[in-house]
């Protein structure tokens, strides 16, 4: 489905253009992007080497060789080199790199102990972070990737459409969260990445997860959920539910938030900068008197990771480009009272933006009976 050979070829060109002699990539989203191999980060070294001059190769522990070969990496014209327990895998990587490596890029999520081991194996090489090189490959999604994100968004939308099955007064956030987690898997994900069920005053904490707090009638509940699909692409969507009639101040707050989020979503287009898009919603919230209560950036990129470039935040002059996918999720939080956030995944297109999440952005009022 994804053209991995093309990704590897573009990676090698990017390494050369960055003035690096090679880039080393350990398990994580970058490795999966380049090879299709969703390796787990263990103490044993798994490493993709991408030289600027020469062919890429993948080094794996012997006991993980079958898994590597069974993954999409096994179908590539990519040597898979297995090492045994008594081998030095860092020396093995160093021996297969072109001679005279002077500048070596390391993926940003490489464990420190592995970076130190590579420094010992390649003492003459200057180590650099390769994050900018690798991010540049992933920041603009291909049509196939956008389609994968659409499927992920549809899967999480199906979960939101079922929240009324579980959310009711008298239940704890944790119990509701368990039901939602089960549904995330049932509705098309292979991994639950996070479940936030923030009721009443907990809604004023943007990264609250779940607790043993009992949900009460008349409260608003922020539900922010996401997972990873079998294709490796992530979902992330936030909706707000009310168990009966919430306070008038909350309704006023939510009206402002909804207007800000809709206006920001409609403003997505090529050329608008990340900070300009952030300001679109932030200005509306500030004009309504809630400026100090919008305490986080507008959004984050999404793809093989829930949080990746581009970040929609003040201070970022990065212009949006077709293929960039990111969240639009302003929030307003009143400490000790309540909070709200509305989040959609949006893809920048050639002439605007496409909202991937399709569930209602209205406040969803549920039956308040136990």
Q: Which residues of 47-65 are buried (b: 16+ CB within 10 A; e: fewer)?
A: bbbbbbeeebbbbbbeebb
The structural domains of the chain, with segments of one domain joined by +, span 4-138, 143-366
**143-366 CATH fold:** Creatine Amidinohydrolase (3.90.230)
What integer pLDDT is reported at residue 245 of this predicted model?
Answer: 93
Q: Which residues of 317-348 are buried (b: 16+ CB within 10 A; e: fewer)?
A: eeebebbbbbbbbbbbbbeeebbbbbbbbbbb
Residue 368 pLDDT class (50, 70, 90 cuts): confident
- pTM score: 0.96
Select from 228, 358, 359 the least CA-distant residue to 303.
Answer: 228
Asked if the model's pLDDT at residue 1 lies above 90, the reply is no
- For the chain, the average pLDDT equals 97
Q: How many residues does the chain have?
A: 370
What integer pLDDT is reported at residue 370 of this predicted model?
Answer: 74
Question: In 10 A of CB 362, how many CB atoms?
Answer: 11
How far apart are the C-alpha atoms of 328 and 344, rounded to whole Å?
6
Q: Which residues contact 265 (CB under 8 A, 6 or more apart)?
A: 328, 344, 346, 353, 355
Asked if the model's pLDDT at residue 112 lies above 80, the reply is yes
Residue 241 pLDDT class (50, 70, 90 cuts): very high
Contact 54, 79 (CB under 8 A): no
How far apart are the C-alpha atoms of 54 and 35, rounded to whole Å?
17
Dihedral (CA of 27, 29, 33, 38) sign: positive
DSSP-derived 3-state class of residue 301: strand
What integer pLDDT is reported at residue 204 of this predicted model?
Answer: 98
Condensed to tens digits (0 to 9), the pLDDT of residues 182-207 reads 999 999 999 999 999 999 999 999 99
Condensed to tens digits (0 to 9), the pLDDT of residues 307-338 reads 999 999 999 999 999 999 999 999 999 999 99
Q: What is the mean pLDDT of residues 41-48?
A: 97
Condensed to tens digits (0 to 9), the pLDDT of residues 145-187 reads 999 999 999 999 999 999 999 999 999 999 999 999 999 999 9
Condensed to tens digits (0 to 9), the pLDDT of residues 101-111 reads 999 999 999 99
CA angle 177, 181, 185 (to 5 degrees): 165
Residue 369 pLDDT class (50, 70, 90 cuts): confident
Asked if the model's pLDDT at residue 113 lies above 90, the reply is yes
4-138 — its CATH code? 3.40.350.10
Q: What is the mean pLDDT of residues 200-220?
A: 97
Q: What is the mean pLDDT of residues 281-310?
A: 98
What integer pLDDT is reported at residue 127 of this predicted model?
Answer: 98
Q: Which residues of 159-170 are buried (b: 16+ CB within 10 A; e: fewer)?
A: bbbebeebbbbe
Select from 161, 194, 150, 195 the least CA-distant residue to 176.
Answer: 195
Asked if the model's pLDDT at residue 45 lies above 90, the reply is yes
Contact 195, 184 (CB under 8 A): yes
Asked if the model's pLDDT at residue 216 lies above 90, the reply is yes
């Amino acid at each position: 489905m994804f053209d991995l050979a093309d990704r590897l070829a573009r990676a090698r060109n990017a390494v050369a253009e960055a003035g690096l002699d090679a880039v080393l990539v350990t398990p994580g989203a970058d490795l999966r992007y380049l090879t299709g191999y969703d390796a787990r980060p263990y103490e044993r070294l798994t490493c993709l080497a991408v030289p600027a001059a020469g062919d890429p190769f993948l080094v794996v522990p012997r006991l993980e060789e079958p898994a590597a070969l069974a993954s999409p990496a096994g179908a590539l014209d990519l040597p898979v080199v297995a090492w045994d327990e008594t081998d030095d895998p860092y020396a093995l990587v160093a021996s297969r790199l072109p001679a005279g490596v002077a500048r070596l890029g390391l993926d940003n999520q490489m464990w420190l102990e592995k970076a130190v081991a590579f420094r010992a194996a390649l003492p003459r090489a200057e180590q650099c972070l390769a994050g900018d090189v690798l991010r540049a490959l992933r920041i603009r999604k291909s049509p196939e990737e956008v389609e994968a994100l659409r499927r992920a968004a549809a899967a999480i939308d199906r979960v939101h459409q079922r929240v009324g099955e579980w959310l009711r007064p008298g239940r704890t956030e944790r119990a509701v969260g368990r039901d939602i987690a089960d549904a995330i898997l049932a509705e098309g994900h292979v991994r639950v990445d996070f479940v936030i069920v923030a009721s009443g005053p907990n809604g004023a904490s943007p990264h609250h997860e779940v607790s043993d707090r009992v949900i009460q009638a008349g409260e608003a509940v922020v539900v922010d959920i996401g997972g990873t699909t079998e294709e490796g692409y992530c979902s992330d969507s936030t909706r707000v539910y009310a168990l009966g009639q919430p306070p008038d101040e909350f309704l006023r707050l939510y009206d402002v938030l909804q207007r800000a989020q809709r206006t920001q979503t409609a403003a997505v287009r090529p050329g608008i900068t990340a900070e300009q898009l952030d300001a679109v919603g932030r200005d509306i919230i500030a004009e309504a008197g809630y400026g100090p209560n919008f305490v986080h950036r507008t959004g984050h990129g999404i793809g093989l990771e829930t949080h990746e470039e581009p970040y929609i935040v003040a201070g970022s002059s990065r212009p949006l480009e077709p293929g960039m996918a990111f969240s639009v999720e302003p929030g307003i939080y009143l400490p000790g009272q309540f909070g709200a956030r509305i989040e959609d995944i949006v893809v920048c297109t050639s002439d605007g933006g496409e909202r991937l999440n399709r569930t209602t952005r209205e406040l969803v009022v549920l039956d308040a009976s136990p």
